Structure 1
């Protein structure tokens, strides 16, 4: 197996796991929220941990979605001008944007790790006594992965600037 095919297989497995996690969490969120609504409106009761679990799952789904969007370079962008730029200049702008995004997400990962560390230190709990940091660690991990994705996008854009673009939008 060549190095390239191994990396492609690894990327494919990562995508499948990431998508499965997102779909599973979203499905469980919908199920839990529906059960909570029925229990409250019909029997005037519910799971004491339900609302807190839903908030945690919203955080996880949001980060998983952000990572998936980063992986595919599908985050919301304002690129009115880039449509009118020559291909090489467009790739230079894309490189600068990707480096800036990677830097900001790297800072977000760093500071969110500081937040998680404080949660560890103060022994905060969620869901009836479980350590809060275990649920919040998705923040630094997610931002770090997004930062890495945009570093890879920057490298791809640099190769296009240098004239070795692997796709059909070569400069």
Structure 2
């Protein structure tokens, strides 16, 4: 059955984020939370073993560094999706809706371009790091630099989703606008 082009999808359904995109955000958030819990656990074990039992665990510092890299870089990608990057929106809020939309498109494009560059450089770095090893864990250091690659891939996905949202006219509500809406 053919559907006329003008009746392809109702507007409200076209604006919902897909389940795949929600899952692509939910899984890294859960993994980051679990990694943070694991990092805290290993740091507590390291401190207790070093000061209470007087036995240092040589692998604990390397593991903490590895987990911290994953938390930071995957967390940075999550911040891209939530548009939680640092910005000053005072001037942008003074613009009319079309101006804010144009600024949001430029911003999303710049974030997408940076994400692509970052991912490419992370790919190159992981390639170079395959021969180096972390001495205490005896694994390749590419596991640590892989966090930059994973974060970069997620940043591309999230920046592209943000760009598509902006192209469809869904620009984020600024903090000032949210406060004004609450006051009304």
- Taking structure 2 as the reference length, the TM-score comes to 0.77
Does 2:164 match 1:155?
yes
Query: What secondary structure, in the 3-state scheme, does the structure 2 residue paired with 1:128 have?
Result: coil
Give 5+ residue unaligned stretches, structure 1: none
Could you tell me which residue of structure 1 aligns to residue 139 of structure 2?
130
3-state DSSP class of the match of 1:146?
A: helix
Contact persistence 1:92–1:158 (CA under 8 A): no
Could you tell me which residue of structure 2 aligns to residue 64 of structure 1? 74
Residues 82 and 90 of structure 1 are in contact (CA less than 8 Å); yes or no, is this contact kept in structure 2? yes
The alignment covers a number of residue pairs equal to 161
Query: 1:166 deviation in Å?
Result: 8.9
Pairing partner for 1:99 from 81, 93, 109: 109
Indicate if the aligned counterparts of 1:26 and 1:61 stay in contact, CA closer than 8 A.
yes
Q: Distance in 1 between matches of 2:58 and 2:159?
A: 40
Moved more, 7-16 or 34-43: 7-16
- Change beyond 3 A, Cα 1:167–1:117: closer
User: How big is the shift at 1:12?
Assistant: 3.0
Distance, in Å, in 2 between the alignment partners of 1:95 and 1:22 is 29
The structure that has the greater radius of gyration is 2
Q: Kindly indicate whether the alpha-carbon contact (under 8 Å) linking 2:101 and 2:171 is maintained by their aligned counterparts in 1.
A: no
Which sits farther off after the overlay, 7-16 or 150-159?
Answer: 7-16
Task: Find the aligned partners of 1:89 and 1:95 in 2 and give their Cα distance.
Answer: 10
Contact 1:49 1:128 in 2 (8 A): yes
Give the corresponding residue for 1:114: 124
Contact 2:50 2:57 in 1 (8 A): no
> 1:87, CA displacement in angstroms?
1.0
CA positional deviation for 1:167: 8.7
For 1:17 and 1:64, how far apart are their aligned partners in 2? 11
Q: Does 1:74 align with 2:103?
A: no
Residue 45 of structure 1 and its aligned partner are, at CA, apart by: 1.4
Q: Which moved more, 1:74-83 or 1:94-103?
A: 74-83
CA RMSD of aligned residues (A): 2.6
- What is the aligned partner in structure 2 of residue 142 from structure 1? 151
